[in-house]
Amino acid sequence: MIVRRVFALLVICVLTTCVWWWYHSDKPSDVVVDDNLSTSTPSVEAPAPLIPPSNPSPVSSPSTVIWSVVNNQSEIPDIPGAQRDIEDAVPIGINYDSLLNLSVGDEIIVEIPQLNSQMTVVLEKIKTHINSIKTITATSIDNSANLIVTIGKKSTFANISTPRGSYEFVGNKTHGWLMPSANMDQHVDYTKPDYVIREIEPRIGVGGLDEK
């Protein structure tokens, strides 16, 4: 009788253990999962589109300085027609090659030492005469000043008109004198080109008409 009771207790214990194991095997885990966590790969922000650089404005050609003051007057050669003894006459060294290579639209810097200033003019017209002599005409942007330069093979002449007076330049291919027009010989026009156009006369045959 005692053996049966012990056996029954063992069976009950085994059954109780099996039920407990089966019950806990189906119970959800107590681990708390954060719903805010995501296992997906985080999105990568697309880089901002590259904006092509704007086209830079074209670089304008530098202004041309056509002459400058010569400090040593002994460097100035004897120039026919130049009146160095005129009051306020200033010796000048010219950039002859630059004058020949100027084009319409170029900016020209003209120094006027008598006024202690410079003016910038824009070349408007180039005219070629006989013997490849050139005349260039330039005007300031505000039309307050004008420049006329005649470039010969051996001589260079210029006339500058400004609100503060007019000036004449008389020179050769390397040097010259810039003089106030008011102080010059009023009977000489220094702006005329250094050449003379002669009219060609028709040839007259030798001998007269045959007598009939």
Could you tell me the residue ranges of all domains in the chain? 64-70+86-183
Per-residue model confidence (pLDDT) at position 6: 57
| Band of pLDDT at residue 209, cut at 50, 70 and 90 | very low
Check whether 96 has a pLDDT greater than 60: yes
> Is it the case that residue 109 has pLDDT exceeding 70?
yes
Q: What is the pLDDT of residue 72?
A: 84
Residue 2 has a pLDDT of: 65
CA dihedral 81, 190, 158, 163 (to 10 degrees): 130
> Helix (H, G, I), strand (E, B), or coil: what is residue 43?
coil
Through-space distance between the first and last CA atoms of the chain, rounded to whole angstroms: 194
Res 78: pLDDT: 84
**What element of type H or E holds 179?**
strand 175-180
Higher pLDDT, 206 or 11: 11
Is the pLDDT higher at 37 or at 167? Answer: 167
The residue among 111 and 10 whose pLDDT is bigger is 111
Taking residues 62-81, report their average pLDDT. Answer: 85
Q: What is the DSSP string of 116-134?
A: TEEEEEEEEEEEE-GGG-E
Of 5-19, 22-36, 72-86, highest mean pLDDT: 72-86
Between these two residues, 188 and 71, which has the higher pLDDT value?
71
For residue 103, what pLDDT band results from cuts at 50, 70 and 90?
very high
Q: 189 has which bridge partners?
A: none
Q: What share of the chain has pLDDT > 90, as a percent?
A: 45
- Distance from C-alpha of 76 to C-alpha of 25, rounded to nearest angstrom: 118
Mean pLDDT, rounded, for 104-131: 94
The answer to whether residue 25 scores a pLDDT higher than 90 is no
Tell me the per-residue pLDDT of 167-208, one tens digit each, with 9 for 90 and over.
999 999 999 999 999 988 655 555 555 445 455 555 555 554
According to DSSP, the residues that pair with 135 across neighbouring strands are 127, 150
